């Protein structure tokens, strides 16, 4: 979303205004690609720019941006919701490698599961709409 005007129109369609605080939250996520920030981390970063922003506003803004598919909500089984910019503007969450030792998160660029989906659809007579995959293990530094 490079275009502020475009973002304004998108928000307006949903009945929301592009407040400086909402803009700051989205900017923070866009400026931190691959970081998978938690709500609290985003709050701490945005607070520097917008000292009077509250955690509830950040929380609500993340919900709105997620609803609009501008950001993705990621659950990495560590007890908190993380967010990242939805570069491809699609509903499909890319896959992550999670180091169980240092917590490092690596994004997997390839999505090799299309053939598996087709196989499962056939074998189980099930129409698949999405999948989420996490790989747990040790990164190169932790072995
Ligand atoms: Zn590691
Ligand atoms: Zn990611
Ligand atoms: Zn996939």
| pLDDT (tens digit per residue) in 55-105 | 999 999 999 999 888 898 988 877 889 999 887 666 677 889 999 999 888
pTM of the model: 0.78
| pLDDT average, residue stretch 109-124 | 92
107 and 99 Cβ atoms separated by less than 8 Å: no
CA pair distance 66, 63, nearest whole angstrom: 5
Q: Is 50 assigned to a binding site?
A: no
In this prediction, residue 7 carries a pLDDT of 83
Q: Is 102 assigned to a binding site?
A: yes
User: Is the predicted pLDDT of residue 111 greater than 70, yes or no?
Assistant: yes
- The alpha carbon of 94 and the centre of ligand 2 are apart by a number of angstroms equal to 6
35 and 21 Cβ atoms separated by less than 8 Å: no
In this prediction, residue 1 carries a pLDDT of 53
Q: How many CB atoms lie within 10 A of CB 3?
A: 9
- The alpha carbon of 29 and the centre of ligand 2 are apart by a number of angstroms equal to 12
User: Is the predicted pLDDT of residue 51 greater than 90, yes or no?
Assistant: yes
- The alpha carbon of 110 and the centre of ligand 3 are apart by a number of angstroms equal to 8
Residue listed under structure tokens 């803009």? 23
User: Is the predicted pLDDT of residue 34 greater than 70, yes or no?
Assistant: yes
Tokens of 4: 């502020």
Residues, CB-to-ion distance under 5 Å, ligand 1: 99, 101-102, 104, 139, 142
Q: Mind listing the domains of the chain with CATH numbers?
A: 1-91 (1.10.10.10), 92-143 (3.30.1490.190)
- The alpha carbon of 136 and the centre of ligand 1 are apart by a number of angstroms equal to 10
| pLDDT average, residue stretch 30-59 | 93
| pLDDT average, residue stretch 23-44 | 92
Ligand nearest to the CA of 130: 3
| pLDDT average, residue stretch 116-139 | 94
């Amino acid at each position: 979303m490079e275009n502020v005007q475009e973002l304004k129109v998108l928000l307006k369609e949903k009945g929301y205004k592009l407040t400086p605080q909402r803009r700051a939250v989205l900017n923070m996520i866009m400026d931190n690609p691959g970081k998978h920030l938690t709500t609290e981390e985003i709050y701490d970063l945005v607070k520097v720019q917008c000292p009077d922003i509250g955690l509830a506003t950040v929380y609500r803004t993340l919900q709105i941006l997620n609803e609009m598919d501008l950001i993705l909500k990621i659950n990495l089984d560590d007890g908190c919701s993380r967010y990242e910019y939805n570069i491809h503007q699609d509903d499909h969450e890319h896959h992550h490698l999670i180091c169980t030792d240092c917590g490092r998160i690596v994004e997997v660029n390839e999505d090799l599961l299309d053939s598996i989906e087709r196989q499962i659809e056939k074998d189980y007579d099930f129409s698949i709409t999405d999948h989420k995959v996490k790989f747990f293990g040790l990164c190169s530094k932790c072995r």
